[in-house]
């Protein structure tokens, strides 16, 4: 017989201490306050450390150059053969080539389209019947070469400097014969157990200086499971970097499918709300990237392992596409990219909106931390947050329109 459901909590009951656990509500608030203060302290410390990041990077690079590089194993003894193959590349080319040109006709749901003078971003989502969604995105970087963008994406050491979610990366093994490299990355997310990624990847270079990369999850004997991390059980990701003909710009088309154990609705909401800020942060880091004098270990290894794109596959791609669409980057989906303010000058919220958003977030975390955070509650909270943020955005846009109308009337 199932136990009776708990009685509903009113506004006063949420913070009322009970006999079994006196001060339970206030203890939750105090714990939440400690978490917020600790995050603020970490942010202040990181700001100070970033000022010395350039010196630390040079020191790490010199130390890595002085240390003896690990000897690559042969293809027969490395154990890496078969992890990433040309079949994976062919499947990636097919997925990027068809879906990236007409995402809507392939069943992809539009998520976001934003851009400015430096970068533009478009993303679509494919929701399977079970499991996490797949994401397809096209990012255009102005005044950037394909080689620079390739090195930026593959530089794991530099990523630890600008990406706060990446706390650690280490190279586990690589094989010069097959071109496969295996690494371990630790990512942290607010209020969640850090995620551990054991990944294998390979990079190919085509004759037109376009680049392809395929990444997948794997296991490795040097990366034993640890209780303090949640190992990601599924990650299939690939990208293509191509120059845009007639422009000083390049595009990267990414197909990403990941299951990191997070709630699906929460992950989708976080993606739609935070991806543009992340793209702006990535673009700023890309513009600073040429200032780094010495290549990292990741780049030196990639330059050693990169393979030539299969000639038969490149010939088949050129023959199957019209002359006006010889690259995935020349395709323009039907959804227009909204022009926004530059990344360096984000729009400011009013004090009332910031306080309301903060109280909404804190209240949601407290609600989910009261022992009732089952799947149904999480889904309900995700829908509530989505609706609340939508209303906030609509009210903010209507307020700004009202101010513009008043200004025009005065003129």
- List pLDDT tens digits, range 81-118: 889 999 999 999 988 875 556 777 778 899 999 999 99
Residue 12 forms part of a structural domain: no
Residue 170 forms part of a structural domain: yes
* Cα–Cα–Cα angle for 288, 342, 347, rounded to 5 degrees: 125
Alpha carbons 10 and 18: distance in angstroms, whole number: 14
The per-residue pLDDT of the chain, averaged, comes to: 75
Q: Range of 179's domain?
A: 104-310
Residue 206 is part of a domain; what is its CATH number?
3.30.530.20
The domain tally of the chain equals 1
3-state DSSP assignment of residue 92: helix
Residue 97 forms part of a structural domain: no
Residue 325 forms part of a structural domain: no
Predicted TM-score (pTM) of the model is: 0.67
- List pLDDT tens digits, range 373-408: 444 445 444 544 555 445 444 444 444 444 455 444
Alpha carbons 179 and 201: distance in angstroms, whole number: 9
Residue count of the chain, please give it: 411
- List pLDDT tens digits, range 318-341: 666 554 444 434 444 444 556 665
The secondary structure element, H or E, covering residue 274 is: helix 264-288
Number of C-alpha atoms within 13 angstroms, CB side, residue 216? 13
DSSP state, residue 52: T
Residue 4 forms part of a structural domain: no
Residue 283 forms part of a structural domain: yes
Instruction: Extract the tokens encoding 217.
Output: 């999850």
């Amino acid at each position: 017989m199932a136990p009776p459901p708990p009685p509903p909590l009113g506004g006063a009951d949420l913070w009322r201490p009970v006999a079994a656990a006196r001060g339970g509500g206030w203890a939750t608030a105090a714990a939440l306050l400690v978490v917020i203060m600790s995050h603020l302290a970490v942010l202040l410390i990181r700001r100070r450390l970033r000022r010395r990041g350039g010196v630390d990077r040079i020191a790490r690079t010199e130390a890595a150059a002085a240390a003896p590089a690990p000897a690559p194993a042969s293809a027969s003894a490395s154990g890496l053969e078969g992890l990433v193959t040309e079949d994976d590349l062919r499947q990636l080319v097919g997925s990027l080539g068809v879906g990236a040109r007409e995402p809507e006709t392939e069943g992809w749901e539009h998520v976001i389209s934003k851009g400015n003078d430096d970068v533009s971003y478009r993303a679509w989502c494919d929701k399977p019947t079970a499991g996490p969604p797949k994401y397809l995105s096209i990012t255009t970087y102005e005044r950037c070469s394909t080689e620079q963008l390739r090195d930026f994406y593959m530089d794991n050491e530099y990523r630890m400097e600008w990406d706060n979610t990446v706390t650690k990366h280490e190279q586990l093994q690589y094989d010069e014969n097959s071109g496969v490299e295996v690494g371990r990355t630790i990512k942290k997310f607010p209020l969640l157990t850090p995620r551990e990624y054991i990944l294998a990847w390979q990079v190919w270079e085509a004759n037109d200086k376009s680049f392809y990369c395929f990444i997948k999850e794997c296991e490795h004997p040097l990366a034993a499971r640890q209780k303090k991390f949640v190992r990601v059980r599924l990650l299939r990701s690939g990208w293509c970097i191509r120059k845009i003909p007639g422009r000083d710009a390049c595009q990267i088309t990414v197909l990403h499918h990941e299951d990191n154990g997070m709630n699906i609705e929460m992950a989708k909401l976080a993606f739609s709300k935070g991806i543009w800020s992340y793209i702006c942060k990535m673009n700023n880091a890309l513009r600073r990237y040429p200032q780094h004098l010495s290549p990292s270990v990741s780049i030196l290894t990639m330059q050693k392992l990169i393979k030539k794109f299969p000639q038969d596959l490149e010939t088949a791609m050129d023959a199957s596409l019209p002359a006006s669409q010889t690259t995935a980057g020349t395709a323009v989906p039907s959804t227009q990219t909204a022009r926004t303010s530059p990344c360096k000058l984000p729009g400011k919220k009013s004090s009332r909106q910031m306080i309301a958003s903060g109280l909404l977030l804190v209240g949601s975390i407290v609600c989910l931390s009261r022992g009732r955070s089952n799947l149904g509650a999480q889904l309900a909270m995700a829908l509530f947050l989505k609706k609340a943020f939508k209303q906030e955005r609509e009210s903010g846009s209507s307020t700004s329109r009202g101010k513009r109308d008043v200004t025009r009337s005065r003129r």
